[in-house]
A and B are shown apart, each in its own frame.
Chain A
């Protein structure tokens, strides 16, 4: 079992003819992902990595029966690509693109609320169910099949924590990189709900960071009766207020909201142990299993 993606997922890649799109399509196929189509306006009829390209997402979905999309479209055109994906009733849209204007994402999110689609991202590494499928840019070789769900706002931090887990022999059901932007399609709470409903997931690792109140809301959800145990990690304890730490969303406001400490406190109050180091996160998970 897993969440969001498995080996039945049929994937269309938006922006498949660009450098990133092409490279990661090959990587996804190598991993075993069922990439069935690409969508790029004006490129219909071509092939990339043996995958047929269509001019529209709708055309790709109808011809190849796709149920998920991965978006590698550049920031200026990404919102349009996301609207196009959302208008085709896909189950899942994964937006890899970094740097989409926030007001564009707010409009996309508003449309998302009218659909039953899950949007993961933007500005995220993607979703992987080890041994079955990956949608995005995560390096498949560090993951292992197992019982732990992982949800994270950051890409490379996800890899670090997964590495610590895998090296201990702790595999993963699914890992979801939800993205580092101020507005994202799948906040922590939605990801935790998915793992809570998944029978195979025995524990969840949640990697948060400074900025916003997503982690605090997740803590509330956990305290309200989530059964699956959660282990936390929060990046940005040493971040000064008012400075954006790389991610557009990673900023402690001038009034002091969004600090690492407030997130750690909220999680601890909900009974969630929070590791000081990635290695400690693996320790806590090992204790739970």
Chain B
């Protein structure tokens, strides 16, 4: 789960990291009032989970009330890489001399946390990492002990941070590690950490992504999720409700399967056989009839989908149960909205094949054949749709 900037800043400020004065606003009047209260210049910042917000026009600096009104009006409601901006953070401008980067993440290769400092803040740190890896000082952390204070200082000095501010930077990094550890963080970052002419440090941005699997022990963070849940894809929200792993893509072949690796493989095969996958949908292990019904409902409600491939390899999941679910779901329709190709293998697959109502679905014996058939159906539907447009 990703916290919004304003939420992450609340967490950081509470832990003692200096942040600029700021206020959240949901409409233009609120934004102007906030700017007047804070005093100019202010930054007006879109609160959406999109990388490169500034470049995309989601951050503007206003120097008076007219500008504040104009920029708030521009940014609120704008479409930022497919996501509508519903709130802005109005924040005191910081007069800075230098921009640093500090961050904590899990180095999955090493299996350990890593704390990082760079003098090259204010830009995309992944680009810095790719082009000039030595510009980022890294300290791997022994999870049994946590980040030692000397490691935080070492990271700051190794990154070339001037002696006058290095101790303060180290202290911010130590606090950031503690936040990351306490919240079951995945990534915690400040980019930029601004350094003022008086050698003060202040967090101008804040990133805190936490481990979804650990949310059960962080009720305070769950509240953030509810509060921040104002701009998401409708289908992805529906998937959350149903408890599916779902990713929406741009093609027209809907895909339902069990197990992440096999579903990914099914997507890849759709592509391999000349089609385009519309989604990733993993119904998980031991899928009962209700989950099958919900999965079909999800894929049918995606307007892009022209045909569906349903691929189950039963281990825990039983083919006969899946088959019953498919029949039940499809019998509820007067007309099947989109052609469905089913392939069952593994536990009770033969029983499942017997049960499937072949008036409602096309059954194929192998993964490759099922995918090819669905791609074919989707191609026909797509061709027919184009034909209609031409006729009109």
Contact = CB atoms under 8 A, between A and B. Distances in A.
B261 A155 contact: yes
A246 interface: yes
Interface stretch (B15-23, B150-158, B310-318, B321-329): B310-318
Given A138-B315, A163-B345, A235-B268, A157 B262 contact: yes
Which of under 10, 10 to 19, 20 to 34, or 35 or more describes the interface residues of A? 35 or more
Interface string A245-257: 1111110011100
A157 B345 CA distance: 12
A207 B142 CA distance: 31
Given A246-B280, A255-B126, A278-B367, A106 B143 contact: yes
B261 A106 contact: no
Contacts of A100: 213
A250 B111 contact: no
B102 to A, nearest CB: 18
Contact of A154 (B143, B259, B280): B259
B332 interface: no
B315 A139 contact: yes
Contacts of B186: 102
Nearest to B271: A238
B368 interface: yes
Contact of A107 (B143, B214, B247, B257): B143
A76 B268 contact: no
Interface string B103-132: 000101101110000000000001101100
Interface in A193-214: 207, 209-210, 212-214
A239 B262 contact: no
A210 to B, nearest CB: 7
Contacts of B217: 76, 101
B211 A102 contact: yes
Contacts of A239: 247, 264, 267, 280
A235 B264 contact: yes
B108 A212 contact: yes
Given A156-B315, A235-B265, A180 B126 contact: no
Given A125-B315, A155-B315, A243-B247, A109 B111 contact: yes
Contacts of A212: 108-109
A139 B282 CA distance: 19
A191 to B, nearest CB: 16
Interface residues of B, number: 56
A255 B129 contact: yes
Interface string B238-272: 00000001010100000001111111110111111
Which interface residue of A160, A163, A238 has the most chain B CB atoms within 10 A?
A: A238
A153 B181 CA distance: 27
Contact of B265 (A99, A105, A110, A157): A157
Interface in A155-198: 155-160, 163, 180, 182-183
A276 B314 CA distance: 22
A25 interface: no
A100 B212 CA distance: 10
Contacts of A278: 265, 367
A254 B259 CA distance: 24
Nearest to B267: A238
Given A110-B143, A160-B345, A212-B108, A237 B268 contact: yes
Contact of A156 (B51, B142, B269, B313): B313
Interface string A83-108: 00000000000000001111111110
A101 B316 CA distance: 23
A236 interface: yes
B392 interface: no
Contacts of A158: 261
A22 to B, nearest CB: 13
B106 A245 contact: no
B302 to A, nearest CB: 16
Contact of B144 (A107, A152, A154): A107
B109 A106 contact: no
Contacts of B277: 238
B215 to A, nearest CB: 9
Given A103-B211, A157-B262, A243-B247, A182 B315 contact: no
B67 interface: no
B368 A142 contact: no
B265 A163 contact: no
Interface in A6-59: none
A179 to B, nearest CB: 11
Contact of B261 (A153, A254, A277): A153
Given A102-B106, A110-B112, A250 B259 contact: no
Contacts of A105: 111
Interface string A64-87: 000000000001100000000000
Nearest to A153: B261
Contacts of B214: 101-104
Contact of B264 (A101, A110, A250): A250
A278 B343 CA distance: 15
Given A159-B313, A240-B249, A99 B213 contact: yes
A269 interface: no
A93 to B, nearest CB: 16
Given A139-B314, A139-B347, A255-B127, A154 B269 contact: no
A237 B144 CA distance: 37
Given A101-B214, A163-B313, A156 B259 contact: yes
A137 interface: yes
B64 to A, nearest CB: 36
A177 B305 CA distance: 33
Contacts of A106: 106, 111-113, 143
Interface of A: 75-76, 99-107, 109-111, 125, 137-139, 142, 152-160, 163, 180, 182-183, 207, 209-210, 212-214, 217, 233, 235-240, 243-250, 253-255, 260, 276-279
Given A154-B260, A235-B264, 16 more contacts: A99-B213, A101-B214, A103-B106, A103-B214, A110-B144, A156-B259, A163-B346, A235-B265, A236-B267, A237-B268, A238-B264, A245-B245, A245-B263, A246-B259, A250-B260, A250-B261
